[in-house]
Amino acid sequence: MAGCPQTGAGRPTRLIAALLIGLSLGLCVATLPLLVGEASGSPRARPAVAAMLGGVNVTGVSTGVSPAVADFQIAAARRLHSRVVRAEVRWSALEPLQAGQIDAHALAFTDRLVRDAAAAHIGVILAVDNTPCWASSAPAQLLRRCVPSMSTQANAWPPINPADYASVVAYLARRYGTHLAAIEIWNEPDQSNQLYFDGPNKAQRYATILRSAYSAIKQADPNVPVLAGSLVGSNGVFLRALYAAGIKGYYDGLAVHFYNLVLGSLRAIHETQLANGDAKPLWLDEFGWSSCYPRRKLQEEQACVTPRTQAANLVDIFRSLRRTPYVAAAVVYNLRNSGQEDFGLLNGSGARKPAFAALSRVLSSPFGNPRPVRLGLRRRGGRVLASGSAPVGDYMQLEAFIGGVLRYRALFTLDRFNRYSISLPHVLGTRHLRVRVYQLWAGPRRAAVRTI
């Protein structure tokens, strides 16, 4: 699970570079007033591409998990029409005591998960992280408290010897082969809370692990795709550091975990790829919303939404992505609520939320458009108030015209319920205004336009 990206969602292109906008729980607006012309914002034509893999994150290998959980999860994924599931494999649970000694219980669970998925024609992404005590590079004071049957901070430190990690991912590649959709190398090395990848020189150490793992996996089975990155930050700072550390040529796709401005974040990280000559596809293998509203306002640093908003958001994202050639997969987090998290399509008892049926429908029939932008105008206190709603996932743009000339522009984000309300500047007056609002991802062709 990713928290709030440490590096932000990236700024939109073709706008003034100094414009800084952050996501807030309410409306966030930045303005470019009194412009004198209208810039072309038409999206570029997108060629037809192979269908994107859609699916859901499921519980993976950890200490004590029952193989029966695998049966339940794959049965649910099949009802969702998933083509892929993603599961974490904790290296500390799979190989807890020493190199080459695989834990029988953990292996039985992984076997069951992959076998059930293969029978349902579902590919499996195995995300392998969490260093066992015997391999961890953690400081001595952390290692003294490291116990094989427990999760400790020492498990978040990368291995002393990357070849030990390479050996275990190669074992998984040999054992499961093309039943795997991919093997993902670690989890969120750029996460600021360091829950998954602790210690100094993160980019360099991650790149070393990736190079070793990629070579071992391809030697074991050259047909198993390798995913690098597992990034939460979308402004490109960590990715550029990875390029500088030499990751190119050692992955088949770039995994990203975006919870804020999902579409805008994808665009931003893709632009970093292009600027660095990287044409590998993006695998959005974590994204989602927690249905914890109104009980809570925030969870895992993300804004809580209602169960119905959670459902609608998932549909909007899949429909927005269906013709995006550089996104190979979109995998929702998570199948089931867990612990203190409400990101699941099922609640803790296994009952379905509205998001379960919504995802099932959109995965079985992804055609159609996301919800339209809606716009209403009214006069209030000598100003015009523009308000409405829009599909989730990206920055929004408002433009106000007088006599066909663009006089005002505002870039903003939606609130947690995908609504907005913007009071236009007093200087624009309250008559003879034409206002246009659109999502940057969809472009002006899907704008809402009103006149007052």
Q: Could you report the per-residue pLDDT of 66-105, keeping only the tens digit for each?
A: 999 999 999 999 999 999 999 999 999 999 999 999 999 9
Superfamily grouping for domain 53-364:
Glycosidases (3.20.20.80)
**DSSP-assigned letter for residue 160:** S
**Helix spans in 31-180 (H):** 67-79, 91-94, 104-119, 140-143, 162-176
Q: What is the pLDDT of residue 195?
A: 86
Side chain identity at residue 330, one-letter code: A
Distance between first and last Cα of the chain: 45
Q: Cβ atoms within 10 A of the Cβ of 112, count?
A: 18
Contact 377, 401 (CB under 8 A): no
- Is 182 in contact with 283 (CB distance < 8 Å)? yes
pLDDT of residue 192: 87
Nearest partner of 237 among 450, 4, 1, 9, judged by Cα: 9
Query: Which tens digit of pLDDT belongs to each residue from 194-236?
Result: 889 999 999 999 999 999 999 999 999 999 999 999 999 999 9
Structure tokens at 253: 């796709």
Residue labelled with tokens 């993006």 = 282
Q: Do the strands 396-402 and 383-389 form a parallel or antiparallel pair, or are they unpaired?
A: unpaired
Asked whether this chain's domains 28-44+371-451 and 53-364 adopt the same fold, the reply is no
Burial of 180 (0-12, 13-18, 19+ CB in 10 A): buried
Burial degree of 297 (CB within 10 A; 0-12, 13-18, 19+): exposed
Residues in the chain predicted with pLDDT less than 50, given as ranges, are 2-26, 31-49
Let me know: does 394 contact 439? Beta carbons within 8 Å.
Answer: yes
Cα–Cα distance between 283 and 106 in angstroms, integer? 26
Domain ranges (residues) in the chain: 28-44+371-451, 53-364
For 50, residues 6+ apart whose C-beta sits below 8 A from its C-beta are: none
pTM as predicted: 0.90
Q: Are 383 and 424 in contact (CB under 8 A)?
A: yes
Here the tokens at position 224 are 């198993």
**Whole-number pLDDT of residue 1:** 64
Question: How many residues are listed for the chain in this entry?
Answer: 452
Rounding to the nearest 10 degrees, give the CA dihedral for residues 257, 259, 261, 264. Answer: 10
Torsion of CA 183, 185, 186, 187, to 10 degrees: -80
pLDDT at 339: 83
Q: What's the CATH fold of domain 28-44+371-451?
A: Immunoglobulin-like (2.60.40)
